[in-house]
Amino acid sequence: MPIAVTTMLDEPWRLSPDVALRPEPFGALAYDFGTRRLTFLKRPELVTVVQGLAAGADVRGALKGAHVPESQWPVFVQALESLAAAGTIQRRSSVTTS
């Protein structure tokens, strides 16, 4: 079942600690060391959003921080849902300790 756009926008997410991003001209490769899964992030803007997830309070903040126009948020949320289903990103508690 897909995550509701408004729900995901208000939730804190982060890049999974098992995943490393490697910048590429098209965006980035995400490699999951736990599952050995390789995922292509095909837009540099999506990479910026994913990298900004941990720094912001929620997905909405990461989208704003990456200067993604609000009209494009549904497309980005759909991409983030796919990344969540693959385990590339994961929900985090609202209070993080680093």
Domain span at residue 61?
Answer: 5-90
Q: Per the domain annotation, does 46 fall within a domain?
A: yes
Q: How far is CA 64 from CA 31, 42, 69, 79, in A?
A: 26, 19, 8, 16
Query: Tokens for 66?
Result: 């990456």
First CA to last CA across the chain, in angstroms?
A: 31
Q: Per the domain annotation, does 84 fall within a domain?
A: yes
**52: CATH:** 3.90.930.70
Q: Per the domain annotation, does 64 fall within a domain?
A: yes
Q: Per the domain annotation, does 17 fall within a domain?
A: yes
Query: Tokens for 82?
Result: 């796919």
Query: What is the Cα–Cα distance from 17 to 10, expressed in whole angstroms?
Result: 21
Q: Per the domain annotation, does 27 fall within a domain?
A: yes
Question: Is 90 buried (19+), middle (13-18) or exposed (0-12) by CB count in 10 A?
Answer: middle
Q: Per the structure, how many domains does the chain have?
A: 1
Q: Which residues pair with 60 in a beta bridge?
A: none
Q: Per the domain annotation, does 95 fall within a domain?
A: no
pLDDT 10s digits, 64-95: 999 999 999 999 999 999 999 999 999 997 44
Mean of pLDDT values over 5-19 = 89
Query: What is the Cα–Cα distance from 49 to 14, expressed in whole angstroms?
Result: 10
pTM of the model: 0.85
Q: Per the domain annotation, does 96 fall within a domain?
A: no
Helix (H, G, I), strand (E, B) or coil at 48: helix
Percent of the chain predicted with pLDDT > 90: 83
